[in-house]
Structure 1
Amino acid sequence: MDIKRILASAPRKHDRGEPAQLTTPWGEAIDPARVRAEHPHPQFAREGIRSLNGWWQYAIVPTLNAGESWARMRPPARYDGRILVPFSPEAPLSGVGRTVLPTELLWYRRAFATPKLDEGERCLLHFEAVDHACACYVNGERVGLHEGGYLPFAFDVTDFLRERPDHVPAHGLIEENDLVLCVWDPSDEGTQLRGKQRLAPGGIWYAAQSGIWQPVWLEVVPACRVESLALRPDPAAGMLRLEVRVCGAGRLLHVDVTAPDGALVARETVRADDDGVALEVQVPIPDLRLWSPDDPCLYGVALRYGHDVVHSYAAFRTVEVARDERGAFRFLLNGEPLFLRGVLDQGYWPDGLMTAPSDEALAFDVQAMRDAGFNLLRKHLKVEADRWYYHCDRLGMLVWQDMVSGGGPLDAWASSYKPTLLRRSWGAYADDTPRHRERLSAGDERYREQWRAGCRETVAYLADHPSVVTWVLFNEGWGQFDAAVAAAEVRAADPTRPVDAVSGWYDQRCGDFLSVHNYFRDLEVYPDDPARLVGEAASRGGRAFVVSEFGGLALGVQDHMAYQELYGYDTYEDAASWGAAVAASLAAADALEPAGLAGWVYTQLSDVEEEVNGILTYDRRVNKLTLATEAVRQACAPQGEASSEGEPASVLAGPRETGRRAPRPDAAATPDPARDGGAPAPDEPGAGAAASDGPEAQRPAAAPLRR
Structure 2
Amino acid sequence: MKAYSFLASLCLLLSLNSNAQNWTPVPGKIASPWVAAINPAHPLPEYPRPLLVRENNWKNLNGLWDYAITNKDEITIPKKWDGKILVPFAIESSLSGVGKTVGEDHLLWYHTTIDVANLKNTILLHFGAVDWRTEIYLNGTKVGSHEGGFDSFTIDITPHLKKGGKQELVLSVWDPTDKGYQPRGKQVVKPNGIWYTPVTGIWQTVWIESVAQTHIANTKQTPDIDSKSLNITTEVKHAKADDKLKITAFDGQTKVAEVETSPNQEAKLHLKEQKLWSPSNPFLYNLTVELMRGGKVIDKIQSYFAMRKSSMGKDKDGIMRMLLNDEFVFQYGPLDQGWWPDGLYTAPTDEALKFDIIKTKEMGFNMIRKHIKVEPARWYYECDKQGLLVWQDMPSGDLGNKWEMRVGDYGGTDKDRTPESEASYKKEWNSIMDMLHNYPSIVVWVPFNEAWGQFKTKEITEWTKQKDPSRLVNSASGGNFEITGDIVDLHNYPEPKMPRPDIFGKTQAIVLGEFGGLGLPVVDHTWQNTNNWGYQTFKNADELFAKYASFMDRLEHLITKGLSAAVYTQTTDVEIETNGLMTYDRKVIKVPAEKLKSVTTKLYNKALVKL
The two structures have a TM-score, normalised by structure 1, of 0.78
Q: 1:430 to 1:115 in 2, by over 3 A?
A: farther
Structure 1 match to 2:169: 179
Q: Match for 2:182: what amino acid?
A: Q
Matched, 1:577 2:543: yes
Comparing 520-529 and 226-235, the one that deviates more = 520-529
**Structure 1 segment 91-106 matched on structure 2, within 5 A:** 91-106=93-108
1:509-588 counterparts in 2 under 5 A?
509-519=483-493, 523-527=497-501, 529=503, 541-564=506-529, 565-588=531-554
Asked whether the equivalents of residues 330 and 338 of structure 1 are also in contact (C-alpha less than 8 Å), the reply is no
Partner of 2:429: 455
- C-alpha separation between the residues in 2 aligned to 1:365 and 1:555? 18
Task: Choose from 303, 309, 333 the match for 2:289.
Answer: 303
Q: TM-score, normalised by structure 2?
A: 0.90
| Distance change (3 Å), C-alpha of 1:98 and 1:477 | same
Structure 1 residue identity aligned to 2:281 = D
> What's 2:8 paired with?
none
Between the aligned partners of 1:505 and 1:654, the Cα distance in structure 2 is 29
Q: Residues 135 and 144 of structure 1 are in contact (CA less than 8 Å); yes or no, is this contact kept in structure 2?
A: yes
The secondary structure found in structure 2 opposite 1:367 is: helix
* Residues in 2 aligned to 1:128 and 1:115: alpha-carbon distance in whole angstroms: 23
2:518 partner SS: coil
Correspondent of 1:600 among 544, 561, 566? 566
Distance 1:317-1:652 versus aligned 2 partners, 3 A rule: closer
Cα displacement (A) at 1:658 = 4.4
The corresponding residue for 1:375 is 366
CA distance in 2, matches of 1:482, 1:528: 27
Runs of 4+ that moved beyond 6 A: none
The code of the aligned residue for 1:496 comes to S
> Does 2:38 correspond to 1:35?
no
Match of 2:557? 591
Q: What is the distance in 2 between the residues matched to 1:218 and 1:427?
A: 52
The number of equivalent residue pairs is 572
Give yes or no for contact 1:20–1:563 (8 Å, CA) kept in 2.
no
1:101 and 1:553, CA in 2 relative to 1: closer, same or farther beyond 3 A? same
1:278 is aligned, of 253, 264, 284, to 264
3-state DSSP of counterpart to 2:321: strand
**Partners of 1:90 and 1:660 in 2: how far apart?**
45
In structure 1, the partner of 2:22 is: none
Q: Which residue of 1 is the match for residue 16 of structure 2?
A: none
Percent identity between matched residues is: 39
Q: Which amino acid aligns with 1:461?
A: M
Partner residue in 2 for 1:468: 442
Q: Which runs of 5+ in 2 are unaligned?
A: 1-25, 292-296, 607-611
User: Does the 8 A contact of 1:26 with 1:358 survive in 2?
Assistant: yes
Match of 1:291 among 266, 272, 277: 277
TM-align CA RMSD: 2.0
- Aligned AA for 1:162? K
| 1:624 corresponds to 2:610 | no
Residues in 2 aligned to 1:586 and 1:201: alpha-carbon distance in whole angstroms? 33
1:437 aligns with 2:423: no
Q: State the partner residue of 2:31.
A: 23
Query: C-alpha separation between the residues in 2 aligned to 1:28 and 1:345?
Result: 24
Q: Which SS does the other structure have where 2:462 is aligned? A: helix
Q: Could you say what secondary structure the match of 2:269 adopts? A: strand
The equivalent position to 2:602 in structure 1, one of 657, 661, 671, is: 657
Partner of 1:427, secondary structure, is: coil
Cα distance, 1:407–1:232 mapped onto 2, change above 3 Å: same
Contact 1:584 1:654 survives alignment (8 Å): no
1:244-297 deviation line (CA, Å, top 9, x unaligned): 1223322332222111x3222223333x3xxxx622232222221010001101
AA of the residue aligned to 1:147: E
The equivalent of 1:212 in structure 2 is: 202
Distance 1:86 1:286, change over 3 A: same
- 2:130–2:200 CA contact under 8 A, matched in 1: yes
**Is 2:230 the partner of 1:240?**
yes
1:482 to 431, 456, 462: 456
Q: Deviations over 1:354-401 (max 9, x none)?
A: 111111112111110111100110000111111111100111000000
Residues of 2 paired with 1:525 and 1:150: CA distance?
32
Q: Which digits, 9 at most, give the CA deviation of each residue in 1:39-85, with x for residues without a partner?
A: 21111111221000010000111234xxxx7xxx1111111100000
* Aligned position for 1:671: none
Partner of 1:427: 409
Distance 1:133 1:82 in 2: 21
- Tell me if the contact between 1:43 and 1:312 (Cα under 8 Å) persists in the aligned partners: yes
Distance 1:447 1:594 in 2: 42
Counterpart CA distance in 2 for 1:575 and 1:19 is: 29
Deviations 1:322-341 (A, max 9, x none): 21233221110000011111
Matches within 5 A, 1:116-131: 116-118=118-120, 121-131=121-131
Q: Which has the higher contact order (CA 8 A, sep 6+)?
A: 1
Separation in 2, partners of 1:40, 1:367: 19
Distance 2:494 2:278 in 1: 34
> Given that residues 203 and 611 in structure 1 are in contact (C-alpha distance below 8 angstroms), is that contact kept between their aligned partners in structure 2?
yes
For structure 1, list consecutive stretches of 5 or more residues without a partner in the other structure: 1-17, 165-174, 531-536, 630-646, 662-707
